[in-house]
Structure 1
């Protein structure tokens, strides 16, 4: 049995005596663990580091990506929510399969356990982890950016009992802003994805402000700040501007005005 704590302590060096494929399979299995030390500190950190360092071949990365897709149907919440993190790492290093996108989209909107942190399971972070992959896909030339923008607003507007509390709104707001930096977006593309929020907020529920309204407004406020000031995309050191920043800010203001007219 590999001592994964020692692997971390030795700068994530690949242990000797076992094939890399066997080690990766073990790490993949550990990503389902309910123990946050096993899953997050060991399995995720080691696997993500090896992916980033280019230790896995393209074929090995595709096989791992396919395995992560199956996790979206896993009965364990921690297995589902760590799948997009590994897919994000894989796509970031240049391996992408179009067939990975639809299963991710279906899971992201449908996931009903939006807990950020659980005392026993540790970090779950379905919204934040999904946002990381959404933002990476939103910047990928083979993915339609509008598709990711619509996915983001769809996730936010889906009814939920959870008010996000662990900076998920920042992660998703950044992912949406990164997607909006795509040069191939038209003016309509950059703004019309917000129309579902306008329609929903124009007819408020009788019970008052629901969690999904709170989650949406907080996330879109993050987006407004990034649209106004710019953001760092990927590993860039300079700020990148959203090409339609003024149009986006105006449309966001239309959304905010429906919920908070007293300060607009």
Structure 2
């Protein structure tokens, strides 16, 4: 349908049109998630799907919708610099909405949620296109949207301590992966928010969190050899993540039970990764 049709839908407060089957409307909106025009993708398709999910339009169809979005995570996976990233990234963002609806209403089975979680994690760790804002095409932001999906997953009552620990491992694995450019569009903050969603469940003990932080700190202190690559690429994302986590632990609302102890662990990690900040420490980096 034309863009004008969807403008009219939005003008009517996103009431579900009665002139076409819901399945046809959903298929069209799903296809639009892969559009390079941000007005169609960010401004039309995602708000419509998100609103309808939140209003319960898909309550009896949530499994099918989530499965369809999970299938979109495979579209062009492995490519970088191509337009397929939009379908993958925005599919993840819609899965987050499906998960939040289930968190509120309990509409799908544990097996379904865990399957979605597995597919989110597999995609996020294999995603090669980590661009944030793409000039002329708008937000790709795959890592940021993946973090949003992990946060929604972490809030799911279907997840227990083992699954929540896996979510933390996925966050660390993503942060520590080699990159050609650092995250500059808020991805560390959103990954930290996903971590806070895990921590607020108060199910992962400090004895699990301490080595997890130590792993990140070790990655943050890594530096690439001096060749034609920026040495900061080796640990810059991990360092940014630790800083974002520290900020959210220190200032965030609804602190987890381990907040005080974990803050000390994170501060110690930041001291280790920034020895030049100490009055008696090393010189500041070049």
TM-score normalised by L of structure 1? 0.90
- Tell me, yes or no, if the aligned pair for 2:147 and 2:191 is still in contact at 8 Å: yes
Residues 156-181 of structure 1: per-residue CA shift (max 9 Å, x gap): 00000121222222212111122111
Aligned to 2:257: 243
Q: SS of the counterpart of 1:33?
A: coil
Aligned to 2:284: none
1:6-155 mapped onto 2 (5 Å cutoff): 6-58=8-60, 60-75=61-76, 76-94=84-102, 95-96=107-108, 97=112, 98-143=114-159, 144-155=163-174
Larger Rg: 2
Residues 101-143 of structure 1: per-residue CA shift (max 9 Å, x gap): 1121111112111111101321011111011111111122222
For 2:30 and 2:93, locate their aligned partners in 1 and report how far apart those are by CA, in whole Å.
Answer: 12
Aligned to 1:210: 232
Q: Structure 2 stretches of 5 or more lacking a match?
A: 77-83, 279-286
- Tell me, yes or no, if the aligned pair for 2:189 and 2:244 is still in contact at 8 Å: yes
For 2:90 and 2:231, locate their aligned partners in 1 and report how far apart those are by CA, in whole Å.
Answer: 30
The Cα of 1:213 is off from its aligned counterpart by: 1.6
Q: SS of the counterpart of 1:26?
A: helix
Match of 2:209 among 190, 194, 216: 190
Judged with a 3 Å threshold, the aligned counterparts in structure 2 of structure 1 residues 205 and 251 are, in CA distance, closer, same or farther, namely: farther
For 1:6 and 1:151, locate their aligned partners in 2 and report how far apart those are by CA, in whole Å.
Answer: 41
Residues 164-208 of structure 1: per-residue CA shift (max 9 Å, x gap): 222222212111122111122212133332232233345543337
For 2:238 and 2:169, locate their aligned partners in 1 and report how far apart those are by CA, in whole Å.
Answer: 13
The Cα of 1:212 is off from its aligned counterpart by: 5.0
- Number of residues of Structure 1 aligned to a counterpart in Structure 2: 255
TM-score normalised by L of structure 2? 0.83
Q: Structure 1 stretches of 5 or more lacking a match?
A: 232-238
Match of 1:254 among 268, 281, 286: 268
Judged with a 3 Å threshold, the aligned counterparts in structure 2 of structure 1 residues 245 and 167 are, in CA distance, closer, same or farther, namely: same
For 1:110 and 1:257, locate their aligned partners in 2 and report how far apart those are by CA, in whole Å.
Answer: 31
- Tell me, yes or no, if the aligned pair for 2:220 and 2:237 is still in contact at 8 Å: no
Residues 239-264 of structure 1: per-residue CA shift (max 9 Å, x gap): 30121112222222233233211225
RMSD: 1.8
Q: SS of the counterpart of 2:43?
A: helix
